Structure 1
Amino acid sequence: MTEQKRANPAPLGLSGFALTTLVLSTFNAGLLSSGSGVVLGLAAFYGGLAQLLAAVLEWRAGNTFGYVAFFTYGAFWEWFFLTSIGVFGTVSATAIGYVLVVFGIFTLVMWFGTFKSNMGLFMTFLLLWITFFLLGIGAMTGNVGLFHAGGYVGILTAIAAWYTGLASVVAEALGAKAPLGKAPMS
């Protein structure tokens, strides 16, 4: 009996993360100033729910890194959604900044886990921890320049994540190897 081929859940998780991050980052960078509520639906469903689903599928496939990353960032987007609609009451910018810095620390540690993977994942996590630190410190100090810088780096993060996920989809559809490059220690 042969086992049926299963889809790779990583492109779904990366795409959900990338699209939601890109939309929010355009607001964080100051490129858009009205209509930020559009991020909430994305945070709840594509950034959150899709990544949580990808995490469960990564767990089933035995990929600990993918499981931890997608579940954590899926939960982050659900937290963002619930915090934004006021489920937890009023939350100060300082408290939100603190949470962002702590996610930056988590992401920095996870970045070390990409050193032997591929350049796409390596760059996504590198840019993401920088994004979290800039946004977090900007929020805690009220420094709009740092916060906007975090938005711009967030846009680059989204592009790296989207490329990483979609390169795999397109390569598989064409019967080719995804052009993701080698990470520094591979």
Structure 2
Amino acid sequence: MEKKVLVTEITANPAPLGLMGFGMTTILLNIHNAGFFPLDAMILAMGIFFGGMAQVVAGIMEFKKNNTFGTTAFTSYGFFWLSLVALNILPVMGLGEAADSLSMAAFLFMWGFFTFFMFIATLRISKALQVVFGTLTLLFFLLAIGNFTGSTLILTIAGYEGIICGFSAIYAAMAQVINETYGKTVLPIGELSAH
């Protein structure tokens, strides 16, 4: 009779990578939204590589760790960033009309709708993720309203709110890295249950 060998796979936590990709790119885009500099190649490059590809990689790694929330969040927001970049560069390449403010409002509203349900899931995970997803839900809805109404003030407020959202993601990422490295809670994240 053949012996069965149980293989235990131990993999690193991909969440900090995904959260950093999201957080840093969100801050840079929202510094633009707050009116400090134009939308340029720096933001687009971050959107493709760190906000986009790094989050998709983190999502695939979460899949391997059997984390449905992490897989859904990182893969979705990675592709959000790639689609946002595409919305900006496809018209320049002659591939479709530029999105008008109404279609951008619809795009941002749908992402806010999705994010609201992801926020509900965070109520069982951690306080840190509640802040990230709560502020992100607000950000998407502010951006949708700003685009729908054409209000520069709402878009500027969204920019500042988005900077807070991005920093909350960076905190959640670095807390996980530092806590894991030190083997104890150095930066609290308010973990509610194992996920």
- Give the Cα–Cα distance (whole angstroms) in 2 for the partners of residues 35 and 99 of structure 1: 18
* Deviation digits for residues 145-176 of structure 1 (CA, Å, limit 9, x no counterpart): 11111111100100111100110001111121
Partner of 2:34: 29
Give percent identity, aligned residues only: 35
5 Å-filtered alignment, 1:3-82, equals 3-30=8-35, 32-34=36-38, 36-82=40-86
Work out whether residues 24 and 39 of structure 1, in 8 Å CA contact, stay in contact via their aligned partners in 2. Answer: yes
Point out the more displaced range, 171-180 or 45-54.
171-180
Work out the CA distance in 1 between the residues paired with 2:160 and 2:44: 20
State how 1:23-172 maps to structure 2 within 5 Å: 23-30=28-35, 32-34=36-38, 36-86=40-90, 87-172=95-180
* Contact kept? 1:27, 1:36, Cα under 8 Å: no
Write the distance in 1 (CA, Å) between the matches of 2:144 and 2:57: 27
User: Structure 2 CA distance, aligned partners of 1:36 and 1:45?
Assistant: 15
CA contact (8 A) 2:136 2:162 kept: yes
Preserved contact between residue 97 and residue 139 of structure 1 (Cα < 8 Å): yes
Kindly provide the amino acid, as one letter, of the partner of residue 22 in structure 2. F
Give the C-alpha shift of residue 101 in structure 1. Answer: 1.0
Structure 1 residue matching 2:122: 3-state secondary structure: coil
| Whole-angstrom distance in 2 between the partners of 1:153 and 1:35 | 18
TM-score by length of 1: 0.93
CA distance in 2, matches of 1:27, 1:95: 20
Task: Please give the alpha-carbon distance, in whole angstroms, between the structure 1 residues aligned to 2:37 and 2:24.
Answer: 18
Structure 1: runs of 5+ lacking an equivalent: none
Whether the 8 Å contact between 1:16 and 1:46 is mirrored in structure 2 is: yes
Q: Is the 8 A contact 1:22 1:155 kept in 2?
A: yes
Mapped contact 2:29–2:39 kept (Cα < 8 A)? no
Coordinate RMSD, CA, aligned: 1.5
Partner AA of 1:117 in structure 2: I
SS in 2 for 1:116: coil
Name the CA distance, whole Å, in 2 between partners of 1:22 and 1:60: 29
How many residues align? The count is 182
How far apart are the structure 2 equivalents of 1:164 and 1:115? 15
Which structure has the bigger radius of gyration?
2
C-alpha distance in 2 between matches for 1:104 and 1:65 = 17
- 2: CA distance, partners of 1:174 / 1:52: 27
Partners in 1 of 2:75 and 2:150 — Cα distance?
A: 30
